[in-house]
Structures are given as structure tokens and as C-alpha cells.
Amino acid sequence: MLFHVRMDVHLPHDLDPAARAELVAREKAYSQDLQHAGRWLHLWRIVGEYANISVFDVTSTDELHDLLSGLPLYPYMQLKVTPLASHPSDIHA
């Protein structure tokens, strides 16, 4: 099952710089592990925002929820999840 996920990050302005750096490092490692596992297919930064657009390939909505809630930055994110389906005009489908 494919899902398009927009992630907007809102870190507190008063977050300790060392804590912020550690949190961002854990987020990077977690996201790269999911990419290597084939679960996080695409990851694009949105220009001018602390946000990204991602595509996940998971077996269920529960799996997606578990992956997203496991993100170290999850407590500071606003997420919008959109399920994707094949398009009949897609030459690769």
C-alpha cells in the first residue's frame, strides 16, 4: 500500500541546541533505516519550509501509523496522510 505523507515540523524555538542536534541525528538515522528497508520510497524537501513530502510503501495503515509515530520528531510534526492508488493512464502501472 502506497501513502503520500506531508510532514511539517514545528520544533520549539527554545529547544536546547544540543538536544535539537541529537533529535535531528536520530531522525536522520531512523528515516535512512526505513529507506534502506524499502518502506520509505521517496523523500523530498519542500523549498522554504521545514517540511517534506514522502511516499511510503507499507502492508497496512497500522504499519504506517507505527512507522510515523516512531519518528523521533513525531511529537513536533503535523502530518497529512493520503492513500495512493494506481492511475489508469500511468504507463508504468
Number of domains making up the chain: 1
CATH number at residue 52: 3.30.70.1060
**pTM recorded for the entire structure:** 0.92
Q: Is residue 92 one of the residues assigned to a domain?
A: no
CA dist., res. 19 & res. 35, Å (int): 24
Q: Is residue 69 one of the residues assigned to a domain?
A: yes
Longest CA–CA separation in the chain, Å:
50
Convert the pLDDT of each residue in 30-87 to its tens digit.
999 999 999 999 999 999 999 999 999 999 999 999 999 999 999 999 999 999 999 9
pLDDT greater than 90 at residue 92: no
Q: Is residue 11 one of the residues assigned to a domain?
A: yes
* pLDDT class of 24 with cuts at 50, 70, 90: very high
Q: Is residue 89 one of the residues assigned to a domain?
A: no
Q: Which residues of 15-33 are buried (b: 16+ CB within 10 A; e: fewer)?
A: eeeeeeeebeeebeebbee
pLDDT greater than 90 at residue 93: no
- Domain hosting residue 38, numbered range: 2-84
Predicted local confidence at residue 4, as pLDDT: 98
